[in-house]
Structure 1
Amino acid sequence: MLVNLETDLLRTFVAIAEEGGFSAAARRVFRTQSAVSQQMRRLEEALGQQLFEKVGRQRKLNEAGQNLLTYARQIVALNDQAVVTVNSSQQSGEVRIGAPHDIADSILPRFLSTFARSNPRVHVMLTVDRSPNLMPLLEDGRLDMTLTTRHSERFQGRLLRTSPTVWIAAAAFELDRRQPVPLVLADEPSIFRRMALNALDQRGVPHIERYTCPSLSGIHVALNAGLGVTARTPEMLKPDLKVLGEREGLPPLPDVNFYIYRSNVALSQAANALFEQICAG
């Protein structure tokens, strides 16, 4: 006998797999952890088999769970696409989204392109700024949602991706290890500025700040001028730039997380659709 699987259960199942646990998944789907556990019991009962196994204190997908995951993702994606397509002719209005410079031109284009095709009557307003400036706009209700490097428990959202942080310089730049490392940095507050300075200080590498600029475009100009090196994610890399590392005497840098959060103010149907689309990946 064929069983119809509930999309809501599959959405939570996918969240558990992608977030690495029931607790994190509960935050993503805006439910309590006990509600998530109850959903998974219902899904296992519908299928007639266990989907998880205990590994230490955690519950991980077993073989059956891994087999289901691919189909669950496809079913959830098709469901969301159908809803968006059916409702697209009715949705209009304005969606306000923020994004840091680093990922505005790497993560967002794919989502905005898909959203624009499905919602031709919606006006999207994009604010590109640094994360410390975007979060107050979200809190004040001047943004519907924002991508950010700042983790927050005050808003509903999720981790979108984790990117490595690397040392970047002009393609023709040669680092003289006999001299202090010349730095090209953003001014405060900047997570990449702190990463660079902390890494060099902890390794005891002499350095000097040669150029300071609040904008990513200004940092790019300074790098192309050969003024020094900066710490950034690989999304910044262009043909005229290169990555430096331990071979040049530079210490490794920590990864950086990118999150998306939605305003605590009720979102329009269009804004909610874009938020869910970005969260679904």
Structure 2
Amino acid sequence: MRNLDITTLRSFMAVADNGGVTRAAGFLHLTQSAVSMQLKRLEELLGQQLLDRSGRTIALTGSGEQLLAYARRIVKLNDEAIGRLTDQVYEGEIVLGVPHDIVYPSIPQVLQRFHAAYPRVRVQLISSYTRNLKEQFSKGKIDLILTTESTSTEDSETLAERPLCWIGAPNGSAWRQRPLPLAYCLHCAFRPKVVAELDKMDIAWDLVVETESDRTVEATVAADLAIQTMIEGTEPPHLAQIDHGGSLPELPVQMVNLYGAEVTGSHIVAEMSGFLRQAFSTVSTPLAAPHWHAA
């Protein structure tokens, strides 16, 4: 009887989730060679090739996809059993604050992985704009916050630097109109910078939507009635980056900053911070929709 090893399955899952051995090794705090050796032993044990290494990036084979589903169930049951039968069970609650515009696609993945590791810890997610999150954090109402800011700060840790980009409907034409129709949330910190850049290029603009609702902005942009700006890689699938060919100004880089990682000394807060670092470390990897050439 051959037996699957939990540690090896964790490495296999990390490679699948992170798109390669290098990032998986960093996430697991192992060397690349150690992770590669574990994967090799797993393939030899099963007599199956689990990873397709023929391309520039590593992908799962059909057998790898099947094993991944089993691996998630096996590891989850292992962690649940260990958690319930030992004293190392962490309970409690973390309040996590994240700006609306960077919740997707990373935060659902973070919540899922954290829950698998700490099933008895409740995570309360608060989604708001950066200024409000910082105010709530300063009052001790939120344990950890992410922010989108133009600079790093002394009391925060910068997890990623990503440029703002112009966002519109796929194959849309609203970006060609003058005045340029814009849609923004009322408290969006990006808007003053965007307007300043448009004014520098003498591009007339019109704020056709100003609302408290992100959904209203998205619906307007998806209908090709206006455009907006978002941090690169955070646009939802029904919107797309605009390939304007220089017709619109280049936009500044934004920092994704983490506050609270070193404040409480709590183990579960430190662990959540680690999950957030890993999720936002893929700076150069597209996270969502591809570029579209707007017609």
Q: Normalized against structure 2, the TM-score is what?
A: 0.61
Question: In structure 2, what is the Cα distance between the partners aligned to 1:234 and 1:167?
Answer: 9
Bigger mean CA offset, 233-242 vs 116-125: 233-242
Aligned with 2:195 (options 194, 197, 200)? 197
Structure 2 residue runs of 5 or longer lacking an equivalent are 1-21, 32-78, 280-295
| SS of alignment partner, residue 258 of structure 1 | strand
1:100 aligns with 2:99: yes
Seen in structure 2, the aligned counterparts of structure 1 residues 165 and 197 have a Cα distance that, compared at 3 Å, is same
Deviation at 1:264, TM superposition (A): 7.3
Corresponding residue to 1:76 among 21, 26, 29: 29
Q: Secondary structure at the match of 1:212?
A: strand
How much does 1:275 deviate? 1.7
Measure, in 2, the Cα distance between the counterparts of 1:70 and 1:210.
43
Once the two structures are superposed, the pairs formed by residues 125-144 of structure 1 within 5 Å of their partners are: 125-144=124-143
| Maintained 8 Å contact 2:104/2:234 | no
Identify the residue that residue 111 of structure 1 maps to in structure 2.
110
Q: Percent identity?
A: 24
Shift of 1:174: 1.4
Instruction: Give 2:93's aligned amino acid.
Output: E
Query: SS state of the match for residue 251, structure 1?
Result: coil
Partner amino acid, structure 2, of 1:76: H
Specify whether residues 211 and 70 from structure 1 end up closer, same or farther in structure 2 by C-alpha distance, changes over 3 A only.
closer
Structure 1 residues 157-201: Cα deviation after superposition (integer angstroms, max 9, x where no partner): 31111222111112253147462111112223x222122201101
Residue in 1 that maps onto 2:158: 159
Residue type matched to 2:120 in 1?
R
- Is the 2:98–2:126 Cα contact (8 Å) retained in structure 1? yes
Alpha-carbon spacing, 1:264–1:140, altered in 2? closer, same or farther (3 Å): farther
Deviations 1:47-83 (A, max 9, x none): xxxxxxxxxxxxxxxxxxxxxx9999477369xxxxx
Structure 1 counterpart SS, 2:94: strand
Give me the CA root mean square deviation. 3.0
Separation of aligned partners in 2, 1:178 and 1:99: 33
Asked if 1:269 corresponds to 2:267, the answer is yes
Structure 1 match to 2:119: 120
Mapped contact 1:141–1:265 kept (Cα < 8 A): no
Quick one: distance in 1 between partners of 2:272 and 2:219? 33
Q: Find the counterpart in structure 2 of residue 216 from structure 1.
A: 214
Specify whether residues 258 and 117 from structure 1 end up closer, same or farther in structure 2 by C-alpha distance, changes over 3 A only. same
Cα distance in 2 for partners of 1:111, 1:177 equals 38
SS at match of 2:203: coil
Residue type matched to 1:261 in 2?
A: Y
What CA distance in whole angstroms lies between the structure 1 residues aligned with 2:185 and 2:102?
16
Residue-pair matches, total: 205
Give the equivalent residue in structure 2 for 1:25.
Answer: none
Matches of 1:147 and 1:140 in 2, distance apart? 16
Deviates more, 1:209-218 or 1:145-154: 145-154
Q: Cα deviations across residues 103-142 of structure 1 (Å, max 9, x unaligned)?
A: 1122222322221111011011000111111001111111
Structure-2 separation of matches of 1:200 and 1:74: 41
Q: Distance in 2 between matches of 1:177 and 1:144?
A: 44
- Counterpart position of 1:237: 235
